[in-house]
Structure 1
Amino acid sequence: MSDAPARHHATSEPRFGFWRRTYAMLVKEFIQLKRDRVSFAMIVMLPVMQLMLFGYAINTTPHHLPAAVLLQEDSDLGRSILKAMENTAYFRFTREVKDVAEFDDLLLSGKVLFGVEIPRGFERGVRRGDRPALLVAADATDPVAASSALSSLGMIVQTALAHDLYTGDPVAAPFEIRAHARYNPAASSRLNIVPGLVGTILTMTMLIFTALSVTREIERGTMESLLSMPITPVEVMLGKIIPYVMVGFLQASIIIGIGVLLFGVPIFGSLLLLALLSTLFIAANLSIGYTFSTLAQNQLQAMQLSMMFFLPSILLSGFMFPFLGMPQWAQIVGECLPLTHYLRIVRAIMLKGSTLQNLQYDTIALFGLMLFAMTVAVLRFRRTLD
């Protein structure tokens, strides 16, 4: 009987005990977050990065798109037409070609998005009332970038002949504009999106797979066993990367197969070339993911680093928004991303039938990015071993 009050007192709840324990846990989490500098940096950087990219880099109506001109004759009217096209703010003439073959090569390589041909005898035909044709070819693999520029061609006749007695009647226009949307004449968005999904999905999965590789070994305690074996950092890295190259190749085959069978996406180029350059792209992403795994202290940080890389990749590569519509600084950042070059490669091979000669720049850039990422990964892994 006498120990009942004591037992009751021992089990009674202290005053404000719930709030004290909750406050202690709150302080503990803030201390842990402060020590986890990578996670804290992600909390700050992710919203800032999204705001900067969407506010400054993304432009759905691209302007000053690169174009080439084939002048069969040099005349005052021809120069007036070119100036009128530049005044629309959609065209920027960067190349003057000498023949149709050079003209086609620039479009196949993606160095220009438009080509304008002023045929021989054009001004004389205008003066005689023959209504000659001005030829405009557009790379329509990205229908968003091409459609706005092509729709602006209607005002060019009136602007080019502003000092003449042209009334603005399309029927009575002294010349006509024949626009040809190449590679995607129907402006079908799936022909642009489905090839782009190959690179986007591979980027996401390859980064995540390898970003978790080293951190998973450390957290499970198997890294110590691995380090006791007579194996070099390069051999460890290759042993971890090569299986995922096969996985990535299988993923790419599935996506392309579904795109062809279900969505009717054509493949005009070489499948062998597409396979080789896809393997190069997969290896580049795996090397970047492996570097992230050596930087992160745990799997959560590895995932966060992967997402930090994936966000600008999907926004600045030309997958969601026209690449050439972005400001210069955003294009420079985009050129440092493997996905940017692979999107050009996969769309050019599948929709244009481009060859390795047409894709030299993007192939060399992709190879250089892969070598750089592999070098950093090996150096970081050596430091991790030490």
Structure 2
Amino acid sequence: MTGRRFSLARVLAIFIKEVQQMLRDRPTFAMAVGVPILQLLLFGYAINTDPKGLPTAVVTQDGGPMARSLVAALEQSGYFRIQARPASEREGDALVEDGEVQFLIVIPPDFSRRVVRGEQPPVLVSVDATDPSASSNALAALAQLGAQALRRDLVGPLMPAGAGGALSPSNASAASGASAGMPFEWRIHRRYNPEGLSRYNIVPGLIGTILTMTMVMLTGLAMTRERERGTMENLLATPVRPLEVMVGKILPYIVLGYVQLGVILLAAALLFQIPMAGSFTLLLAMIGVFMLANLAVGFTFSTLAKNQLQALQATFFFFLPSMLLSGFMFPFRGMPRWAQMIGEALPLTHFLRIVRGIMLKGNGLQQLVPELWPMLLFLLIAGTIALMRYRQTLD
């Protein structure tokens, strides 16, 4: 009868047994400890919702002192980093379209003279708004900057030209760019997303994140499932070559990926009215390269893992940095340099730029080459590792 009573000694024995089992399962223990550390590092050091130092091109058509003061004020604000000075607005537009700069600021001719006359000359601010969260704070800072930029220039008899120094409530919107009572006027042009809709950024990005999760996870389970079901020996006994096994196992998931793509694009067009400015055929080709890169990663995980649980754990360690450091959830340019370097090594980072460039900007193949070759390089490296690991599995 005593055996039916609750025993702390038996509970302690089971507790010790489970702890020993957990310590033997090193991948699970590493995940339990490593995931919180990884999240702390990424959210604490890499994630920044207020990006500064955004790459900016300035076209200065006036060499006067007030134009120079305005450019200096832009740099001192911390939000704008002048990295290009194109000769014309057309050249600046090309930089924005290629994604090399976030902002294009055009100072018109006779800017200084018109400010002195109180004519309130317009200053064009053209912004790449494919990711509204990356530029919203910088645009909001322009209102305060416009009132303070020329404060040292408009003194003495020139003071009436800068009177007011603040936006009226009806004109305080950065979207309108109006600047009543200011020495000049900001004219904001949100390119590719005039209304600043977040879904224009999120929905195309979902294509990459969903494909990353499903391609890596499902392929990661491919080889481990063979081992757990005991069919790996039968596969090894066949004359099938390692490359043939890889291709045969990857092809079904490519078909599945295109099915997912069709569902997402249909929802994007019918439910969210996301435009398709570029070539649909080019988008399909780029997605094919992206899927192959992720499938190679999943296949590598499947050769490293001993069971399906370990494969899922490895998938999570790849998916979490991809989602957080690619620019999908948080502005990429707001991250520190070391986080950007890690993000540049991930295929999702380049794919997000590609899919947004095609759908929102109408980019062609020539403009996408800087983002395409890193994905191809990643595919080559991951595929080679997967093939080598599979050969070791055969041995």
For 2:137, the equivalent position in structure 1 comes to 148
Aligned counterpart for 2:109 among listed residues 102, 120, 126: 120
Q: Is the partner of 1:382 in helix, strand or coil?
A: helix
Measured against aligned partners, the alpha-carbon deviations of 1:266-303 in whole angstroms (never above 9, x if no partner) come to: 11111011100011111111111111111111000000
For 2:15, the equivalent position in structure 1 comes to 26
What is the distance in 1 between the residues matched to 2:11 and 2:284? 56
With the length of structure 1 as denominator, give the TM-score of the two structures.
0.93
Which segment drifts farther, 132-141 or 148-157?
Answer: 148-157
With the length of structure 2 as denominator, give the TM-score of the two structures.
0.91
What is the distance in 1 between the residues matched to 2:313 and 2:358? 33
Aligned counterpart for 2:232 among listed residues 212, 217, 223: 223
Aligned counterpart for 1:171 among listed residues 163, 167, 180: 180
CA-CA distance at 1:120 after TM superposition:
2.4
Measured against aligned partners, the alpha-carbon deviations of 1:294-335 in whole angstroms (never above 9, x if no partner) come to: 111100000011011111111111111111111111111111
Residue ranges of structure 2 left out of the alignment (5+ in a row): 167-178
For 1:243, the equivalent position in structure 2 comes to 252
Does the 8 Å CA contact 1:68/1:93 hold for their aligned counterparts?
yes
What is the distance in 2 between the residues matched to 1:320 and 1:110? 18
Does the 8 Å CA contact 1:135/1:178 hold for their aligned counterparts?
yes
Q: Across the two proteins, how many residue pairs are aligned to each other?
A: 375
Superposed CA RMSD in Å reads 1.7
Aligned counterpart for 2:77 among listed residues 78, 88, 91: 88
Does 2:120 correspond to 1:111? no
What is the distance in 2 between the residues matched to 1:71 and 1:380? 56
Q: Where in structure 2 are the equivalents of 1:203-218 lying within 5 Å?
A: 203-218=212-227
Which segment drifts farther, 92-101 or 110-119?
Answer: 92-101
Aligned counterpart for 2:287 among listed residues 278, 282, 289: 278
Which segment drifts farther, 276-285 or 229-238?
Answer: 229-238
CA-CA distance at 1:381 after TM superposition:
1.3
For 1:64, the equivalent position in structure 2 comes to 53
For 2:354, the equivalent position in structure 1 comes to 345
222 and 343 in structure 1: CA distance in 2 versus 1, 3 angstrom threshold: same
Aligned counterpart for 1:363 among listed residues 372, 378, 381: 372
What is the distance in 2 between the residues matched to 1:137 and 1:187? 13
Which segment drifts farther, 157-166 or 343-352?
Answer: 157-166
CA-CA distance at 1:52 after TM superposition:
1.0
CA-CA distance at 1:26 after TM superposition:
2.9
| AA of the residue aligned to 1:196 | G
Which segment drifts farther, 356-365 or 153-162?
Answer: 153-162
CA-CA distance at 1:382 after TM superposition:
1.4
Does the 8 Å CA contact 2:192/2:360 hold for their aligned counterparts?
yes
Q: Where in structure 2 are the equivalents of 1:97-108 lying within 5 Å?
A: 97-108=86-97
Does the 8 Å CA contact 2:216/2:297 hold for their aligned counterparts?
yes
What is the distance in 2 between the residues matched to 1:323 and 1:178? 26
What is the distance in 1 between the residues matched to 2:237 and 2:230? 12
| AA of the residue aligned to 1:327 | P
Does 2:303 correspond to 1:294? yes
CA-CA distance at 1:100 after TM superposition:
2.9
Does 2:192 correspond to 1:183? yes
**Greater Rg by CA:** 1
For 2:312, the equivalent position in structure 1 comes to 303
| AA of the residue aligned to 2:327 | G
CA-CA distance at 1:19 after TM superposition:
4.6
| AA of the residue aligned to 2:211 | L
CA-CA distance at 1:13 after TM superposition:
4.5
Does 2:338 correspond to 1:329? yes
For 1:73, the equivalent position in structure 2 comes to 62
Does the 8 Å CA contact 1:105/1:358 hold for their aligned counterparts?
no
CA-CA distance at 1:125 after TM superposition:
2.4
Aligned counterpart for 1:39 among listed residues 28, 31, 47: 28
Aligned counterpart for 1:316 among listed residues 321, 325, 332: 325
CA-CA distance at 1:176 after TM superposition:
1.2
CA-CA distance at 1:75 after TM superposition:
2.9
Does 2:123 correspond to 1:134? yes
Which segment drifts farther, 81-90 or 300-309?
Answer: 81-90
Identity across matched positions, percent: 51
Does 2:363 correspond to 1:374? no
